[in-house]
Structure formats: C-alpha cells, structure tokens
Chain A
Amino acid sequence: MDFRLTDEQRQVEEMVRGLSRREFAPRAAQVDEESRYPAENHRLLAELGLLGMLYPATFGGSEAGPVSYAIALREVAGGCASTGVGMAVTNMTGEAIFRFGTDAQRRRHLPMLSGGKGAGAFALTEPGAGSDAGGLSTFARENGDGFILDGSKNFITNGEHACVTIVMALTQKSPRRVSAFLVEPGTKGFSVGKRERKMGIKGSDTVSLSFEECRVPKSSMLGAPGDGLKIALSTLDGGRIGIASQAIGIARSALSAATEYAKDRRQFGQPIGEFQAIQWKLADAATELDAAQLLAFRAACLKERGVPYSKEASMAKLFATEAGNRASHAAVQVLGGYGYIREYPVERHLRDIRVTTIYEGTSEIQRLVISRALCG
C-alpha cells in the first residue's frame, strides 16, 4: 500500500494546476456567461499533451496513464468544468480508437485528436435511448463496400467541434447487433443539429447529430461487426473515472471558495468560520471529497494494471458526483446571498456539477452496475 503520487504524477498535478489557475479559471465566468466554446483552452491542452493521455507517442499521445489522467482532469475541471468535459470526451474517444482501432484508423485519427485539430465525440445516446443505451435505433445498412447510416443522436458532447465521432448504430435488427463507426465532419448526409441550452457546463457544446443516407466506408468500422456495445461499455468504464475526477475538481473549487469566504466574512462579531454551523459543512464536504478521491484513484490504479475495474469505476463515479453535488450545494449555502450571484464562482460550480450525476451513466445506472456485481 502506498498513498503517495509518483514523481511524474506530482509533476502532472503541478503543471496542470498552474495552467488551470493561470488560463482556465480566469476565463471560466466569461465562457459560462457567453456559452462560448473555449477553443483557446483546447489548444493549450493539446500543447501540453493533455488530449491524448491514454495512448503512446507513436500516435501522438503522451501515455501518461489513468492516474495522471485523473489528476489532470481534476485540475482542469477545477478551473473550468466545460473545458474539463471537452478534455474528458476527447481523451475517451482517442482511447477507444487506440484500443479497438486498426493501425490505419489510429494513424489517421489519433494525432489529430491529441494535437487539438478538433475534439473527439462519442455518439451513443439517442432521443429514445438514454440509460437504456442498447435500445438505440440508428441503423447502418450494408451497401457495397460501405454502410449507409440513418438515424439521429442527441446530447452529444463536443459534437460540433469534433474531428472524429464514434457513432453507435445497429447493423442487424434481429438479433440486435450494434457496431461502432468513425465518422468525420463533412461526410455527406451527416449534419450537426441544434445546440442545447443548458443549466451548466455552458462552454461545452452539446448537440444532436443526424444521419440521412450517410455513406461511410467499411474501413470506418471500429472493431468487428457487433462489437459496438462492448466498445461503448468498456469505454464508459474509463469515462466514469474521468467524470468522477471532473466532479472532484469542481467540488474542491467550491469548497475552497467557501473556506476562504468563511474566514473573511464576519457576522455577529466574528468570522462565520468560527460558527459550528459553518464548520460542520466544511468538515463533511472535505471528508467526503477525500473519500471520493481515494475511490477514483483506486479505480484508476486497477485500470492502470489492466485488471477489471467496472464496479470500482461505478463506485467512484456514483460517490464522487453525489458527494461533489452535496459539497457544492453546501458551498453556496456558506456564501449565503453571495453564493447565489454571479460575482462569486460557486453558483456556477453548483450548476456545472449538477450534470455529473447524469451523464456517462446516471447515478441510478451506477447503482445497477454495483448491485449486479454484488448480487452476482
């Protein structure tokens, strides 16, 4: 047992924390206010090798590993949650292409993703297939030396800025077989639809995608025919460590804002941090966030060693996102009226973190994964 970070992990932590404080945090309020995609942040992430952390340099990656990735994502999200989720989905897309792709696919897409030419996107969700991801209806019909895609996807993060999108589609209706395809922007019949207006993570673009007689070559299939759900689920296991880390980053920023405020703000003749009512909130939030971090690191360590970590990733995501929501909620309360106005960042933290118990598997789906593992 060893709870220390390695030297390399500590370096990643320092470097990304510095970047996030210097570049992302100061812009975060404006990005949120204008619902603006922070392309300059994405470029900075690329320059530091933070968009391809899970595959080797041969394909443009930095292969820093799951623990360093969790640390980096936490630090980025602590400054700007929207930038964090963009980074998370880009890394996840690249990792899926590295793990399941052919060498030709890797060479084509991975250097673009890690180099920041565009973001990566992962199109699984459909209007009728949310938690029940297997119930998707986008269809890919075989035609000559390619497939023709028809259907629509929604709530797709990075969809507008993606240089490659992994699209899950049925290749056979009975029995149902789902396959994965790599679709590039500009492909005829592929269009990006409406951009959702959201409660938080407003700097991240969330769009619907539509496929009308969209022809893709056979060589764009990721993995073998019928591998789609396997690819989706195993990619999401890793993604859940990412979202856990994002939540921890956001909530730590909220807690630290609340702690500083509690030291400064005086009421009834003393700093409010001297009241137990406030101390209790801070103590509970800090304790739960430490526990969340340990669960996330445990899952990342298992992943790094190449052993199964599905249950542990779900525990980390469930716990970190729920605890992060509680902590952010408490932070708003500590700031009182100032927690509710945009002059302080905590109202944004609360709006931003709200999505973390929803995307990449709701808390309810995490509990299903965990209880299935328990009940056998």
Chain B
Amino acid sequence: MVFDLTEEQRMIQDTAREFARKEVLPKAAELDENSRFPEELIRQMAELGFMGIAVPEEYGGAGMDNVCYAIAMEEISRACASTGVIMSVNNSLACDPILKFGSEEIKREYLVPMASGKTLGCFGLTEPGAGSDAGSQKTTAVRDGDFYVVNGTKNFITNAPQADTCVLFTMTDKAKSHKGITAFVVDMKWKGISLGKHEKKMGIKASATSSIVFEDVRVPAKNRLGNDGDGFKVAMHTLDGGRVGIAAQAIGIARASFEDALAYSKDRKQFGQAICEFQAIQWMLADIATEIDAARLLTWRAAWMKDRKMRHSKESSMAKLYASEVAMRAAVKGVQIHGGYGYIKEYPAERHFRDAKITEIYEGTSEIQRLVISAALLKG
C-alpha cells in the first residue's frame, strides 16, 4: 500500500494549486456576486489541459489519470466551487461517456475539441419529472431513417447556456422502462434546440444552470452512444466517474471552509487570547481536518479503482456521500468559527456554506448514494 502521490500527480497538484491561488481565488467573490460565467478562467484551464485531464492525448486530453483529475478538481474548487463544477461536468459527464461509448468518428468530431477545451460540454439527463428516478425519462427519440427525432425538456442542466455539445438521454422504448433509454451526442446549435429557464441559485452562482427544450430535433443515428437501450448503462457508468469529481469538488470546498476558519481563529482575539486557544474552537478544527483527510482517502481510492478499470460504483458513492456531507459540516463550522463575520459577504465563509450545499444534491443526492451503497452491502 502506498499513499504517496506519483511525480505526475504531485506536478498537477502544484500547477493547479498555483493557478487556483493566483488566478481563480481573487475572482471568486466577484463571480459569485455577479453570477458571472468565468469564461477567461475556462480558457486558461483549457491551456493547462484541465478540461480533459483523464482523456488520452490522441483525443485532445491531457492523458493523465483519474487521481490527477481528483487532485486538480480539489484545488480549483478550493478557490471557486463554480469553476470547479464547470470543469467537472466537462471532464466527467461530457468527455468520459464519449470516450467510453462513442465511435471513432464521434470521438474525433466531438471529444477532441471538448477535451482540449475548445468547446464545452453538458449532460442532459435530469428532467422536471425525472430527478433521482432518472429512469423515468419523458424526452423521446423516434427513429426516422438515418436519424432520430427528439422531443422533450431537460432541466437543471449545468453549463447548458455556454455548452457546444450535450450528452443527451432519451426514451426510445417506453415499454422497456429504463432499458428503453438511449444516449446521443448532440450539437447545441442544431435546429429545434433552445434554452429555457435560467435558474437563480443559492450557490455555485458562476456556473450557469438552465433547462433545454428539444423540438423535433433531428439527430443522426451515428451520434448514438452505444446501442438502443444502452442509455441507462451509459448514465450510470458516467455518474460513477462524475461522483469522484463531485467528491473532489466537495473536498475543495471543505478545505476552503477549514483553511479560512483556521486562519481567522489564529488572528481573532477574544477574552484576551486567540480563539484557536479555546478547546471549543480546537475541537471543531480537529474534527473538520480529520474528516477532510478521510474524505480525500475515500475519493482517491475510488479514482484509483477507476484508473484500474475496477468496478467502483460503491466506492464512488461512498466518496461522494461522505465528502459532500463533510463539505456541509465544514461549512457550518466555518461560519460558526467566524461568528458574525461568517454571515457577512466581506468574508468567504458564507459563500462556502452556500456552495457546499449543492454537493449533497447533484450527481445523485446523498439518499441515492446510500441506496447504491446499501444495495451493494445487502447483495453480498
């Protein structure tokens, strides 16, 4: 057993940390305040190879492993959780399913520009009536010669307003329920695709979330990922990887809460001493630090298993469940350690609190993770 990072993993950690500190962190409050999409940061991250970290170089990616991806996600999210999720959706939810299930032609056409950060991807699974119950898709795709005709609405789609490419899930055979779901790669400029409601959110405000409406959109059959009916499998495989990304994002947010609170507790004096001298504060810091380390080990384990092509559904769910709940606990304690200063926008603690909450919800709520984990336990 070895817990040390490889040289490559250490390198990307240094690069990502430095970039996050210099370029991302100074902008995070403004991005949040104005709900502004950080276009310039995404361009810079593309140059660093961060938009397709675990995609092989021949397909436009950085050709690194999934542990590298988790490391970079943590560092970017430490500075700005919104920038983190934009990166995560592109890497895990858009690039990864095309890499795994796309034809060579589709990879050349869509994956190469997306992994290199020239285009941006999104993931169209959620619908107004299909959240945790992702199998109950209403969006339909009807075969018509060499095309499928798609109709329906997706909502809560991260990156949708800026996205060039969408990995889209549709129902092609309703009678077969979740085995009747089929996935496609769709160009967002195609006729019949329009953006719906742009959501205003509690946190991760610099990441855009909106609905997408599909009206008689003609999708070439060659853009299908896998076969008819493979969609649910594509979605589940993709989310196993995505959960590693969100776990890493959560750890980044937790670290932001923790590091800011630690620094504050050393400066802030009450009752004649720095508040970090009080056990009430020390206990919170010790618990958060321990839980962050635990969450990171769970996350790296899942990423490491993905790199070895081992089945990692349970381990990804454990990482995502645990890390996201740690992020929330750390954010609650971070605000508490700051007292009144934790509640005002002059300090970032309140932003971390708002940003942390989403990690317990998207890419499978904590409740869905517990279902995945307990199913694995009870099956065995």
Contact = CB atoms under 8 A, between A and B. Distances in A.
B298 interface: yes
Nearest to A9: B1
A182 interface: no
Interface string A355-375: 000000000001110110011
B290 A370 contact: yes
Interface in A250-305: 259, 262-263, 273, 276, 278-280, 282-284, 286-288, 290-292, 294-295, 297-298, 301-302
A67 interface: yes
A283 B294 contact: no
B64 interface: no
Contacts of A273: 374, 378
A283 B370 contact: yes
29 contacts: A1-B3, A1-B9, A1-B304, A3-B1, A3-B304, A273-B378, A278-B374, A279-B371, A279-B375, A282-B377, A283-B373, A287-B298, A287-B322, A288-B322, A290-B298, A290-B315, A291-B295, A294-B297, A298-B293, A302-B3, A315-B290, A315-B294, A319-B291, A319-B294, A367-B287, A371-B285, A374-B289, A375-B262, A375-B285
If over half of B's interface residues share one DSSP class (helix, strand or loop), that class is named, otherwise mixed; here it is helix
6 nearest CB pairs, A to B: A279-B374, A371-B282, A294-B297, A291-B294, A283-B373, A370-B286
With most chain B CB atoms within 10 A of its CB, the pick from A278, A366, A375 is A375
B34 interface: no
Contact of A287 (B5, B266, B305, B321): B321
B2 A298 contact: no
B378 A259 contact: yes
B1 A283 contact: no
A283 B290 CA distance: 20
B370 A284 contact: yes
B6 interface: yes
Interface residue range, chain A = 35 or more
Contact of A371 (B6, B9, B286): B286
B294 A3 contact: no
Nearest to B258: A374
Interface residue range, chain B = 35 or more
Contacts of A9: 1
Contacts, number: 126
A39 B114 CA distance: 66
B55 interface: no
B77 to A, nearest CB: 20
A76 B340 CA distance: 50
Interface in A148-192: none
Contacts of A294: 294, 297-298, 301
Contacts of B6: 1
Nearest to A298: B3
B140 interface: no
Contacts of A298: 3, 293, 297
Contacts of A327: none
Nearest to B305: A3
A265 B374 CA distance: 16
A368 B322 contact: no
Interface string B345-380: 000000000000000000000010111011101101
Nearest to A4: B1
Contacts of B2: 1-2, 301
B232 interface: no
Contacts of B9: 1
Given A287-B373, A367-B286, 6 more contacts: A279-B375, A282-B377, A288-B322, A294-B294, A301-B2, A366-B286
A368 B282 contact: yes
Contacts of B58: none
Contacts of A366: 286
B1 A67 contact: yes
Interface string B259-293: 00010011000000000100100110111011101
Contact of A1 (B67, B265, B375): B67
A286 B321 CA distance: 12
Contacts of B378: 259, 262-263, 273, 279, 282
A123 interface: no
B184 interface: no
A297 B373 contact: no
